[in-house]
Structure 1
Amino acid sequence: MKYLYAILLCSIGHSALAQSYASAQYSINFPMGNTADFISKPSFRGLTFDYRYEVTPRILVGVSAGWYTFYNEAGYDSYTSKDESITASGQQFRYMNSVPLLVMADYYFSEADLKPFVGVGLGTTYNRVDLEMGMYTWRADPWQFSVAPEAGLAYKIAEGTSALVSVRYNMSFSSRDLDSQSFLGLNLGLVTSLGR
């Protein structure tokens, strides 16, 4: 029993010393796979917000949320619905809004001012896909299981503040209403310490 108390006290002591961090990032996203088949243009409209808690100086866990919008004017084309019940032709406008909600884990290779890291996220993504053609709109808006591996660099620019650059591959798996969606995101932002 004494050992259990000792372990508990050490854990509480470590938690009191552990830091937490918040970051805001501007995200540029490049469609891949089925997403690129539907919308080929990169998106310059994206935001990512992250929170991390320091488990050890090199291992951080937390959450991530983002909002990324894609748009493409496809010109005159034909479109067949997924269930093949409708085919229409006309000037097409294609949109996708992607909102991932992920649980993240990161590993930092260094404790110096320049910190390379890798991470992975698991969770769900709300993907709303719209195809507008004249007076008609086709829409799919499922929640899809998602995985998001990431690699990046954090560089300390002031006490408690670091600049961040990372590349994250966002992959949402097929659901009943929508095929798998994927895109590669370039994230640029700032990380701020929230204290101990």
Structure 2
Amino acid sequence: MKLKILLIAILTIVGLNTVNAQQGYSEFQLNYLPSLPLGETKDFTSKFSFRGLGIEYNYYIQDHLSVGLATGIVTYYEASDGIQSLTVVEDGNNVTLSAKQYNYTNVIPILANGTYYLQPSGQVQPYIGLGIGGYYVMRWVEMGLYQVKDDKMQFGVAPKVGVMAPLSYGLALNLGLQYNSAFGDQPFNSLDFKIGLAWKY
């Protein structure tokens, strides 16, 4: 399922690039995404995650403004300090599990992005932006041989700020922060630290 979603997003990005190849210019980003869980997400998996990767395609309508798509994956993990108990319903019966507990949260965003660049021709190019779309949030608990899983597609928004620092012709260093907020009965919230490269062509 995760691979299918990523493939659809990549094909969409490639398709947009083909359609718009004769207009404006395009940008492809590859970002490393260390991430801090927040709110209810932190209650379930509280540890800072160093396991995140994001890709973006942006089409520049003008020097100050781009629109595009973003996707990727960030994973969070936490193990309990000792034996935990959890009651689940199986075949209509309540079953109590007692074992060391492992909590996992994996998140795949699929966002439409708009980004405004304050100084697009400067040596340091600050930007602000907003992503809107869906977050595929996978949460599960493992205890012994049992796994309790809950997958949801949730609507969310992702405001971002950052800077681009040109390195050479068409290549720039990208440093930024992105706040993720997905809504629902189990909301997802996190703060991503973007460190990556952007290619303009």
| 1:136 maps to amino acid | Y
Match of 1:12 in 2: none
Change (3 A) 1:86 1:182: farther
C-alpha distance 56-37 of structure 1, shift in aligned 2 (>3 A): same
Corresponding residue for 2:162? 152
Gaps of 5+ in 2: 1-20
- Helix, strand or coil: the match of 1:142? strand
Residue identity matched to 1:193: K
- Structure-2 separation of matches of 1:135 and 1:86: 13
Distance in 2 separating the partners of 1:81 and 1:129: 15
Q: How many residues align?
A: 176
Structure 1 counterpart of 2:36: 30
The structure 1 residue matched to 2:45, chosen from 39, 48, 69, is 39
**In the alignment, which residue of structure 1 is the partner of 2:103?**
94
Shift of residue 174, structure 1, vs aligned partner = 1.0
Q: Report the equivalent of 2:127.
A: 117
**1:108 to 2:113 alignment:** no
Give 1:80 shift: 4.9
Are residue 60 (structure 1) and residue 66 (structure 2) matched?
Answer: yes
* Cα distance in 1 for residues equivalent to 2:47 and 2:115: 30
How far off is 1:89 after superposition?
3.2
Supply the distance in 1 between the matched residues of 2:88 and 2:135 (Cα, whole angstroms): 22
Gaps of 5+ in 1: 1-14
- Structure 1 counterpart of 2:126, which letter? P
Cα distance in structure 2, aligned partners of 1:165 and 1:182: 20
Equivalent position of 2:188 in the other structure: 181
Spell out, residue by residue over 1:42-61, the C-alpha distance to the aligned partner (whole angstroms, 9 max, x if none).
Answer: 11011000010011110110
Structure ID, larger Rg: 1
**Corresponding position of 2:140:** 130
Counterpart among 175, 181, 198 of residue 165 in structure 1 = 175
Q: RMSD between aligned alpha carbons?
A: 1.9
TM superposition shift of 1:134 = 1.3
Paired residue secondary structure (2:155): strand
Distance between the aligned counterparts of 2:187 and 2:163, measured in 1?
Answer: 29
TM-score normalised to structure 2 length:
0.82
Task: State the distance in 2 between where 1:36 and 1:17 align.
Answer: 43
Q: Distance in 2 between matches of 1:81 and 1:69?
A: 24
1:88 to partner: Cα distance: 3.4
Q: Does 1:49 align with 2:55?
A: yes
Q: Could you tell me which residue of structure 2 aligns to residue 19 of structure 1? A: 25
Alignment of 1:63-78 (within 5 A): 63-75=69-81, 76-78=83-85
Whole-Å separation in 1 of the counterparts to 2:100 and 2:41: 19
CA distance in 2, matches of 1:118, 1:81: 44
Give the TM-score normalised by structure 1.
0.84
The residue identity in structure 2 corresponding to 1:56 is Q
Q: 1:119 to 1:86 in 2, by over 3 A?
A: farther
